[in-house]
A and B are shown apart, each in its own frame.
Chain A
Amino acid sequence: MRKPARRSPLPQSLESAQVPERSDQKLAINQTQLVGHLLERGALRYTPAGIAVLEFVIGHVSQQIEADTTRTVECEMACIAAGTPAKLLSKGKQGDSVLVSGFLAARSLKRRTPVLHVTTIEFVEGIENGI
């Protein structure tokens, strides 16, 4: 069995980890938006410095166009939020529909699968129902 080729590890020193210059802003694009419902939600925890952190999973179902055809898409996205969005979402319940946006980052140095770091959050159903 062939293992997937490992990408070079992240640079560790501060200098090489610098974000590219403003003129190359396109090279720094990392934006994800997703609507879905809350599948799982961990308990609100705090970092040693006292910042709230919440880990959760969004289940997404929608119609998308691919190769000129409409198709159904389903996926689950592991998410993490820190600070205000974490506190906001900690009040949500399972099944709530939310629109999240943020950036993708590897889970850890060893586990390179992405996690969506949610920076803004919107409860979609709540608005629709006029609550």
Chain B
Amino acid sequence: MKLVRVALDVPLPRLFDYLAPDANPCDIGLRTSVPFGSGNKVGIVLNVTESTDQPVAKLKEVHALLRDMPALPSSFLAMCEFCAKYYQAPIGEVMAFALPPMLRRGKLPKARKTTPDLTRQNVVATPAKVDGGRKTSGQSVPTVGLPPLLVAQAAAVDAILNSRGFCAFLLHGVTGSGKTEVYLRAIASVLERGGQALMLVPEIALTPQLQARVAARFPYAHIVSAHSGVPDAARARGFLDGLEGYADIVLGTRLSIFMPLPRLQLIVVDEEHDASFKQQEGLRYSARDLAIWRAHQLDIPVVLGSATPALESFFHAHSGRYNLLELPQRAVAEHLPQVRTVDTRREKLQDGLSQALIDALTLRLERGEQSLIFLNRRGYAPVLSCPPCGWVSRCHRCAANLVVHLADKRLRCHHCGFEAMIPRNCPSCGNVDLQPFGRGTQRLENILAERFPKARISRIDRDSASTPKKWQALLDAIHAGDVDILVGTQMLAKGHDFPKLTLVGAIGADAALFAADFRAPERLFAQLMQVGGRSGRADLPGQVLIQTDYPDHALYQALEDGDYGRFARVLLAERQIAGFPPYSFQALLRAEARTVEDSLAFLAIARKAALTIADPRVTIYDPVPMKMQRLMTLERAQLLVESTNRPALQAFLSKWMETIYSQRKVGGLRWHLDVDPLEI
């Protein structure tokens, strides 16, 4: 009796056994179509066996083993299994997530379907064959005409190229220090040796520049981009190209960490501190952490690059677990931009702008240079209010305010997506003179237009650059010099070089200074440093002005000196005292239900169960309502568990999850576990 053990996309942490008379051990890693309940499902064969603990009479037979696609390699399956175990997710869900949607549904992209000779052909297991079919392997990439490397860059490249086996590098380089050039040289060498390289970037949809740069550097290489914006068929095609070894360079967002690459020799994680590497829904994995695991599994080097490394990476690099490569100098511009805070405590601001910032803007306009005003708040104003009666535009589904979007005359909840027309008069008292309070990018755009009537002003946020096409058009206008003043959110902060940009003004940054989240200062620093790094990237010196009520704060002081290391050490000392990551490991059980009592009650039972199985090294806190308690009409609560010992926490979590899965739930209650949560 031949049986296959199949991982199916169902929210249960187990495998399913099916009869498969024609199965053989080579079929592990194949997709299979099976009957499930009253319908069909596509799963992945994880094992081929002869015995089962299920009653044989109840077993069903698979519809088909889908041999039209090469089997997924064992390294891929191992990573999914690790991911399922570490993040306490059902294996079937992890695998379904790791596959592109089209392959997950049991289909193949068109071109492949017509290729007749691919059945049962184990392309992956025979790299020689793969190499034979390739144009580019072993082809050297021309290095003439490339910019000469700085000493530190050259040392970094050498260190990466000379490493043997697994080695994690933290490339800590100030903005503009040429980190990308280091990656490209390392990738070039990997390609020369016939290897594949995987490069993770935070938001590929926003970085066509990088894509173009990689494509221009490696004209003969097959570059696959993998992110959720790629159409279904192309994504499946890219996945197969990776699996079959045709892809040389994979450029992608966090999900591309799962891409099977048989000749993978280097993983690069650019802007490794970026929060987008951690998925915040469904499978809550961290692509950066998985990159380290994968490099370790394959015994290859991994390079994490950032100007403001995550404190976790910074800690590991300085404690010797990672190799620290520093690029203290800018490669492109002569000097780092001069960063200065503007004390706004005494000054009467003019529509939120200080005189110093206005003067600096005027000067840039006179000189024909570009300026950027950074305000991390979309919309016209964060709230609409009625001064006579005190009504404010609250979202009826969330504990949040509806944001005024004047451009399209709507109120929007930035949390749940609720939208409404701007009311003609106050829903509470009837007053028509409703006032938008506070300032968003749209309002700032209007204010600047009034103050500088001759300036060409362009706003860049998720509303104005809602599609890649619009975004590209805006970028083109900036590069063509058709814009004098840019108003933008963090969207602008990532990876763009604007040669004529010499002034960056940051307003409203203080809000993040006192956020309840312990990672907020780290993120604020990274954000300001990154956005500041946009200025003065060519031959013009840059200036950064940060308006603040707290110019003496350690964060701003370190920013003025451009010394992330100093600030990181201050933060690390604080974290050590508080026992926060990286000095401890955390997991967060979140529950959401119609009432907060239901959520808290569920967590209270989970806590009781936790106490009976807890290792003394694991601390279990009390259930509390979440910071943003109400979202999409659901009341949310959380329970934090923490340990200084990661294996102890992991062992506890897997035991704990069993009890939670068997726990009775109130109707409408949902829960999930977030391992290594970004926010608590």
Chain A residues packing against B (C-beta within 8 Å): 10, 12-14, 17, 47-51, 53, 80, 82-83, 105-109
Q: How far is the CB of A73 from chain B (nearest CB, A)?
A: 28
Contacting pair A80 B433 (CB below 8 A):
yes
Say if the beta carbon of B384 comes within 8 Å of chain A. yes
Say if the beta carbon of B55 comes within 8 Å of chain A. no
Contacting pair A48 B436 (CB below 8 A):
yes
Say if the beta carbon of B2 comes within 8 Å of chain A. no
Contacting pair A48 B404 (CB below 8 A):
yes
What are 25 pairs between A and B in contact, CB < 8 Å?
A10-B388, A10-B390, A12-B389, A12-B390, A14-B428, A17-B429, A48-B404, A48-B406, A48-B436, A49-B409, A49-B422, A49-B423, A49-B425, A49-B432, A50-B409, A51-B432, A51-B433, A53-B433, A82-B432, A82-B433, A106-B388, A108-B387, A109-B387, A109-B389, A109-B390
Instruction: Provide the B392-418 mask, 1 if CB < 8 A to any CB of A, else 0.
Output: 000000000000101001000000000
Q: How far is the CB of B53 from chain A (nearest CB, A)?
A: 62
Q: How far is the CB of B521 from chain A (nearest CB, A)?
A: 34
Q: How far is the CB of A17 from chain B (nearest CB, A)?
A: 6
Chain B residues packing against A (C-beta within 8 Å): 380, 384, 387-391, 404, 406, 409, 421-425, 427-429, 432-434, 436
Q: How far is the CB of B477 from chain A (nearest CB, A)?
A: 28
**Which chain A positions have C-beta within 8 A of B429?**
10, 17
Give me 16 other A-B pairs in contact (C-beta within 8 A), A10-B429, A12-B389, A50-B409 excluded: A10-B390, A14-B427, A17-B428, A47-B432, A48-B404, A48-B406, A48-B409, A48-B422, A48-B434, A49-B409, A49-B432, A82-B432, A82-B433, A106-B388, A107-B388, A109-B389
Please judge, given known A-B contacts A17-B429, A82-B433, A83-B432, whether A49 and B424 are in contact too, CB under 8 Å.
Answer: yes
Bound CA span A48–B388, Å: 16
**Which chain A positions have C-beta within 8 A of B406?**
48
Chain B residue nearest to A83 in the complex (CB): B432
Chain A residue nearest to B411 in the complex (CB): A48
Bound CA span A10–B388, Å: 9
Chain A residue nearest to B436 in the complex (CB): A48
Q: How far is the CB of A95 from chain B (nearest CB, A)?
A: 26
Q: Which of B384, B391, B428 contacts A48 (CB 8 A)?
A: B384
Bound CA span A48–B434, Å: 7
Chain A residue nearest to B387 in the complex (CB): A108
Contacting pair A47 B434 (CB below 8 A):
yes
Chain B residue nearest to A106 in the complex (CB): B388
Bound CA span A48–B389, Å: 17
Interface centre among A82, A83, A106, A108, by most B CB within 10 Å?
A108
Chain A residue nearest to B393 in the complex (CB): A48
> 9 closest A-B pairs (Cβ-Cβ)?
A108-B387, A48-B422, A49-B424, A109-B390, A49-B422, A82-B432, A51-B432, A53-B433, A47-B434
**Which chain A positions have C-beta within 8 A of B432?**
47, 49, 51, 53, 82-83
Contacting pair B388 A49 (CB below 8 A):
no
Contacting pair A47 B428 (CB below 8 A):
no
**Which chain B positions have C-beta within 8 A of A10?**
388-390, 429
**Which chain B positions have C-beta within 8 A of A108?**
387-388
Bound CA span A17–B430, Å: 10
Q: Which of A12, A47, A106 contacts B433 (CB 8 A)?
A: A47
Interface centre among A13, A49, A53, A109, by most B CB within 10 Å?
A49
**Which chain A positions have C-beta within 8 A of B424?**
49, 51
Please judge, given known A-B contacts A17-B428, A47-B434, A82-B432, whether A12 and B422 are in contact too, CB under 8 Å.
Answer: no
Contacting pair B388 A13 (CB below 8 A):
no
Contacting pair B428 A12 (CB below 8 A):
yes
Chain A residue nearest to B433 in the complex (CB): A53
Please judge, given known A-B contacts A17-B428, A47-B433, A82-B433, whether A109 and B388 are in contact too, CB under 8 Å.
Answer: yes
